[in-house]
Structure 1
Amino acid sequence: MRVMVMIKATKESEAGEMPSTALLTAMGNFNEELVKAGVMLAGEGLHPSAKGKRVQFSGSQRSVVDGPFAETKEVVAGFWLWQVKSMEEAVEWVKRCPNPMQSDSEIEIRPLFELDDFGAELTPELRAQEERLWAQAQDAAKKPR
């Protein structure tokens, strides 16, 4: 199963405070463990929400909201995409993670939808389209932009 592991923002991360060398080292070592175990598929830190935008949808209307976003606890400061055997395995990996922030922090784990999760609504044609697009995206990711 694939899971998205989201590191929630803190006041410090939203203020743009950079992690210490010690924290960068600890996180680098943890990421190395994840890669060696075949768990980590991707992972990145995100700039503070002040540099972000949200697009809000209401019917056919779109509106853009500039950051920063008020609810820090609802903002994602970084993420991993992991391949694990179970949610329990993902929890065990997160428990081994160094605290990703200088202060108290929180990490959320959520499973990704897999094609089989969509049932009969995902017709054979839609499945073929998804598989084709996924293969194209993988190829594009290998090429420099």
Structure 2
Amino acid sequence: MRVMVMVKATEDSEEGIMPSTDLFEAMGKFNEELANAGIMLSGDGLKPSKLGKRVAFDGASRRVIDGPFAETRELVAGYWIWEVKDMAEAVEWVKRCPNPMPGPSEIEIRPFYEMADFAEIASPEGQASHDRAGEKVAARDGKAG
């Protein structure tokens, strides 16, 4: 099962305050553990929302919203994508993670949809489009074949 593990933003991360050397090293070691265990597929930190944009949709209308965005606790400051056997394994790994922020913080774990979840609504054409897109991404990333 694939999950996205999201480090929730804090006032410090939204201010662009960089982690301490000790925290940077501790997170590096944790990432090595994840990689060595075959859990971590990818992961990165995100710059503050003041550098981001949102696109709001309403029918055919599109509106660009410049950051920063309100509700800091609802923002994501970083993420991993993991391959785990189940949610319990993901929780156990998160509990081993160093606190990713200088003060109180939260990490959210969310499972990805898999194509099987769309079996009732997927037309053959829709399935083929998704398959082709996945093949192109895998080929680009050197994972084909």
Q: What TM-score, normalized to structure 2?
A: 0.94
Given the alignment of the two structures, is residue 136 of structure 1 paired with residue 142 of structure 2, yes or no?
Answer: no
Structure 1 residue identity aligned to 2:130 = E
Deviation, structure 1 residue 139 = 1.9
Asked if 1:12 corresponds to 2:9, the answer is no
Could you say what secondary structure the match of 1:64 adopts?
strand
Which range moves more in the overlay, 32-41 or 114-123? 114-123
SS in 2 for 1:13: helix
Q: Is residue 108 of structure 2 the alignment partner of residue 111 of structure 1?
A: no
Alignment match, 2:50? 50
| AA in 1 matched with 2:64 | V
**1:66 counterpart letter in structure 2:** D
Q: In structure 2, what is the Cα distance between the partners aligned to 1:60 and 1:129?
A: 22
Partner-residue secondary structure (3-state), 1:120: coil
Q: What code does the residue aligned with 1:132 have?
A: R
* Per-residue deviation, residues 60-104 of structure 1 (Å, max 9, x unmatched): 111011001111001100000000000111000000000001111
* Corresponding position of 1:94: 94
* Deviation, structure 1 residue 125: 3.2
- How far does the alpha carbon of each residue in 1:35-76 deviate from its partner, in whole angstroms, 9 at most, with x for none? 111110110000000000010001111101100111100110
Shift in Å, 1:121:
1.0
CA displacement at 1:23 relative to structure 2: 0.5
Sequence identity (%)? 60
**Superposed displacement of residue 10, structure 1:** 0.3
| 4+ residue segments displaced more than 6 Å | none
- 2:88 is matched by which residue type in structure 1? E
* C-alpha displacement of 1:126: 2.4
* Per-residue deviation, 1:129: 2.4
5+ unaligned residues in a row in structure 1: which ranges? none
SS at match of 1:16: coil
Provide the rounded CA distance (Å) in 1 between the counterparts of 2:109 and 2:14.
21
